[in-house]
Copies of this chain bind each other. A is one copy, B any other.
Amino acid sequence: MSDTLRRADGARVLADLNALRSFGTYKTGVHRPTFSEAHRQSLDWLAARHPDAQLTAEIDGIGNVLGTSTKPGPKLLAGSHLESQNYAGWLDGPLGVVYALEAARVLNPDPSIAGAVEVASWCDEEGHFGAFLGSRSYVGDVSEADIDAARDRSSPRTMREALAEMGLAGRPRLQAERGRHIGYLEAHIEQGDTLEQSDLKVGVVTSIVGIWQYRIIFTGEQNHAGTTRMAVRKDAGLALAKFCLAIDARFPAACGPRTVWTTGRITLDPGAPSIIPGQAEMLFQIRDDDPAVIDRLEELLRELASQASAAGPCQVAVERIRTGAPAMMDGAFQDAIEAASSALAGGRSLRMPSGAGHDAQVLATIMPAGMLFVPSIGGISHHWTENTSDADIVTGADVFVDTCRRLLAGAAR
């Protein structure tokens, strides 16, 4: 066991990320949906790199790439994903996979390091076919019936058909061997501008927020837009607009310091230019890592709905359609990332929750988990202009490799 720092090979990390960018290049980003030809190429590319890290790679029956080591000592699982959102950025996913690969390449062949890093690429984190299907399959949370039912959101094919096209039909799905890993570490771009705004280099993720989602339905009275006087209308769309402003006015005083809420979709029924909408619907989402805050906001939401219904002329109903418990990141993992940041990033790190979902929240259900963020230029995410400076990518890689070393060392002690 060595107590000396280990660093990444920065040039190799950047070269690997650019190699992955060549699969499905779109402008400066990539278009690499799950089970596309570009995705297949990226999985094969990754599997071919595993021997450099003394790992044996396997692409399993759901498209996860998993590397196993025969080296004695503790094993740390690390990774992220290789598919992208449609026409999106080059780093969302690949950064975490290449960091994990780099840590394995640096630490696994080193006889002074006890144990090894095992690299994972989880399939479909971006949700083209479902929600975290790859990592959920690995922790035992996906049935064959789930796969039977899964369909591509943007093409008519089923997941079974896509797996067959990929040559993966009939392969076994690998599941976690309980007790094998000391935990799971994942790196990701921040997808926000907090680090950039404060000139920091590393985000030490404390938790991954839970997502609560609501369908809010406004019921008025459908009528003719020409013949119905303003005074007697029951316009469900106008009631919805008023409700959005009530949320905007009342939530800030009740929320936590990092709560976010979003109305992502609005539908008026029937949605014709000459008909007063008799019904309207909004999809509303709240994210926070503190369930107490969510409880308070949900109560407020229902209170606002009651007030609006009582005031009339439309009725407002709030229906919760998704409840996502936040995932807490392991304290020892946070300490290790922070220590590595002190050593290799001038201590320019910040503990922060993740507002976005990641495979780490799934792995956290069966083992200790941690996450490390690097800055996002302008906070841009899920868009092909997403980027991080090369210097920040290399600094992040150094911190990631050294965090792995510290975690393995801590487990071997």
Contact = CB atoms under 8 A, between A and B. Distances in A.
Nearest to A264: B273
A269 to B, nearest CB: 10
Number of copies: 2
Given A241-B245, A273-B265, A285-B274, A260 B229 contact: yes
Nearest to A272: B264
A4 B26 CA distance: 82
B381 A227 contact: yes
B229 A192 contact: yes
A264 B276 contact: yes
A223 to B, nearest CB: 7
A121 B201 CA distance: 75
A194 B274 CA distance: 19
A28 interface: no
A260 B274 CA distance: 11
A219 to B, nearest CB: 15
Contacts of A248: 238, 241
A73 B114 CA distance: 112
Interface in A270-289: 271-277, 283, 285, 287
Contacts of A223: 379-381
A382 B266 CA distance: 24
B379 A228 contact: yes
Contacts of A242: 241, 245
Interface of A: 190-194, 209, 211, 213, 222-230, 232, 235, 237-238, 240-242, 244-245, 248, 252, 258-268, 271-277, 283, 285, 287, 354-357, 379-383
